[in-house]
Amino acid sequence: MDRAAPNQDQRIPLPWHRHVPLPGEKRTGGTDPGAELQVTLILRRRHQLPDLHSAPGDPSPRQRQPLSPGEFARKHGARKDDIARVSRFARRHRLDLLEVAAHRRAVVLGGKAAAMEHAFGVRLLEVEHPRGKYRAAAGRLTVPRELAEIVQAVLGLNTRPCATRPRVHYPNPIKPFWTVPEMARAYGFPANFSAAKQRIGLIELGGGYREQDLQKFFSSLHRPMPAIHFVSVDGVRNSPAPPHQMRQFFDVLDGKRKLSEVSADVLQAAQSTMEVTMDIELAAALAPGAEIVVYMASNSEQGIYNAVSRAISAKEELPCALSISWGEPETQLSRAYLKSLDELLRDAAMLGVAVCVSSGDQGAMNGSSGGKPGVNFPASSPHVLSCGGTMVHASPGNGVRESAWNCDLHGIRGATGGGVSQRFPVPRWQKKHGVPLAPNGRKGRGVPDVAGPADPRRGCQIIAGGRCCPAAGTSAVAPLWAALLACLNATLGTRCGYITPLLYELSGNGARILRKITRGNNGFYHAGPGWNACTGLGSPKVESLVEALRVPSRGVSS
């Protein structure tokens, strides 16, 4: 097959699809023409969705009614004739139609690399980077004119990682500061709080969990094992690090081995196992009775999009909340991916699914090479509840005093992510809360919205690799808030859903539902009264939040 791009006069470039290189990546040659690839085409909607955060005349967040999955698919799924055109395009270019999901507006195509290059007018290259090997598409991605208004994005040609994990804390172990029940009591979780009949979804990108760790953890709390279901996305399996790799990881933490003596792959596998295990244990322990669904996907644009779309279009009951404990600086991601995933997060909001996302663990600068602060995506999406981190300055049982999380632990600095988006405008519900200008001088969405305990020195106990460890980072705050929202749903007998605008409305009206964090900084921004770019509106005062939402004039809609 001729690998040259088709006649450009008959084709239209898709905007925003250029590969965004990671600093330090090295191209090593072309992709094997015979390699088998899969791509996901995202198609236009049958009808456009309303703008939830800036449209004039938008209803109050407590008046907004979520759509049922069936009604949503009928109104906003892909059109049959659009799918037929994509099918003809696939046949012409010798691509296989692997999956058609009209309700998700997704069509998955498979075929050889040479066929993909010809179909989309690009050249596929192999890339090496310290974060791994991946594929990049060089050139302007094009489609036939008849598909130009139908195909909104093509994900899968570029496979660069779109999420980072926390770095290893080295050396010496850190003992857990408190148990999950102690932390729950400190934040005002009622003793009889339950999330019965609620479902929490966890979006995970590699790694896995061991049932032995979960059994040991819940046995230590004198609780039964929760209902945990695993969902493979695109064939990605539950792959926890084996015991010998976990031992190497703990040897590094204990100072028995140097960091350089353990391979990067082993450290990655162990940290991924710690992250997944932490998400499950925190979400399930803080939301007793909830069903936990683990969606495991690859760390790529295509994997992340497919995981979230699967989670919010489940044929079974929708999750009431999703927890996402990863992210990447928004300026280092392709705009096609940002737009596609943000639209999907808006779908979740329309369906009444709350999406809780960690704001990052590298402070305001967020690993920026340009010397200016930056925020992570998807935490910067206006359709999520962005979760920052605090440092706790009180012993269990003595109440909670907090500051913005920013500490140096064994030579490694960790701090809550936060700042102002350069990709998303300031939402209407945030305009009266003093969000500063973004580094590019424009008004942008402020990050985070809320906060919770993230300092590893004050982390609550989890069990991973057979060992007690402290929960750490804003990765621990996202499942906390997802669990809290599941409990609120069960207690109030309603679906809180897209609660972010309502929290701003209640806080702006003087409701004391969140504990204001007025001390500390994240390396650029400072905590203070009201909303701030370190801890948002503050950490939860659960009993006050429950009572505020019970009031008919202030509560969420059923």
pLDDT tens-place string over residues 517-548: 999 999 999 999 999 999 999 999 999 999 99
The total of other beta-carbon atoms located within 10 Å of residue 68's CB is 12
Return the higher-pLDDT residue of 551 and 494.
494
Confidence (pLDDT) at 400:
84
Whether the link from the prior residue into 448 is cis, omega within 30° of 0, is: yes
Residues 102/77, Cβ–Cβ less than 8 Å: yes
Instruction: Examine the residue annotation and report whether 279 is marked as an active-site residue of this protein.
Output: yes
| Cα gap 330→206, rounded to integer Å | 21
Does the structure show a pLDDT above 80 at 329? yes
Nearest to 183 by CA among 325, 324, 282, 274: 282
Confidence (pLDDT) at 171:
46
Mean pLDDT of the chain: 89
Confidence (pLDDT) at 415:
94
Lowest mean pLDDT among 105-109, 193-197, 257-261, 467-471: 257-261
- For range 463-469, the mean pLDDT: 93
- For range 300-319, the mean pLDDT: 89
pLDDT tens-place string over residues 212-253: 999 999 999 999 999 999 999 999 999 999 999 999 988 887
What are the residues facing 42 on neighbouring strands?
Answer: 106, 153
| Cα gap 186→395, rounded to integer Å | 9
One DSSP character per residue, 428-465 reads GGGTTTTPPBPTTSSBEEEE-SEEEE--GGGPBEEEET
Confidence (pLDDT) at 56:
39
- Where do the domains of the chain lie, and which CATH numbers do they carry? 8-44+79-155 (no CATH), 180-202+243-252+300-550 (3.40.50.200)
Confidence (pLDDT) at 162:
87
| Cα 29 to Cα 51, 123, 138, distances in angstroms | 43, 10, 12
- What is the phi/psi pair of residue 502, to 5°? -65, -40
Confidence (pLDDT) at 55:
44
Instruction: Examine the residue annotation and report whether 25 is marked as an active-site residue of this protein.
Output: no
Nearest to 390 by CA among 458, 311, 491, 323: 458
Return the higher-pLDDT residue of 54 and 397.
397
Residue with structure tokens 């279901």? 229
CA atoms within 13 A on the CB side of 151: 31
Residues 558/493, Cβ–Cβ less than 8 Å: yes
pLDDT tens-place string over residues 100-154: 999 889 999 999 999 999 999 999 999 999 888 999 999 999 999 999 999 999 9
One DSSP character per residue, 534-548 reads TTBT-EE-HHHHHHH
| Cα gap 533→404, rounded to integer Å | 10
Structure tokens at 42: 């995202």
Amino acid at position 191, single letter: A
pLDDT tens-place string over residues 162-191: 887 655 554 456 788 899 999 999 999 998
List 275, 328, 347, 455, catalytic entry: 275
Confidence (pLDDT) at 478:
97
Confidence (pLDDT) at 58:
44
Counting residues of the chain whose pLDDT is more than 90, the rounded percentage is 73
pLDDT tens-place string over residues 6-28: 444 589 999 989 888 888 899 99
Confidence (pLDDT) at 316:
66
Structure tokens at 409: 């632990």
Residue with structure tokens 């994509």? 86
pLDDT tens-place string over residues 28-85: 999 999 999 999 999 999 877 766 654 433 444 454 567 777 778 888 889 999 999 9
Does the structure show a pLDDT above 90 at 511? no
Confidence (pLDDT) at 423:
96
Does the structure show a pLDDT above 80 at 504? yes
Q: Cα 168 vs. chain centroid, distance in angstroms?
A: 21
The pTM assigned to this predicted structure is 0.93
List 82, 204, 213, 279, catalytic entry: 279
| Cα gap 58→180, rounded to integer Å | 39
H or E segment to which residue 322 belongs:
strand 321-324
Does the structure show a pLDDT above 60 at 558? no
Dihedral of CA atoms 47, 49, 50, 52 in degrees, nearest 10, equals 180
pLDDT tens-place string over residues 401-411: 999 999 876 65
Confidence (pLDDT) at 412:
66
Instruction: Examine the residue annotation and report whether 275 is marked as an active-site residue of this protein.
Output: yes
Q: Which of 1-10, 445-454, 487-496 has the highest mean pLDDT?
A: 445-454
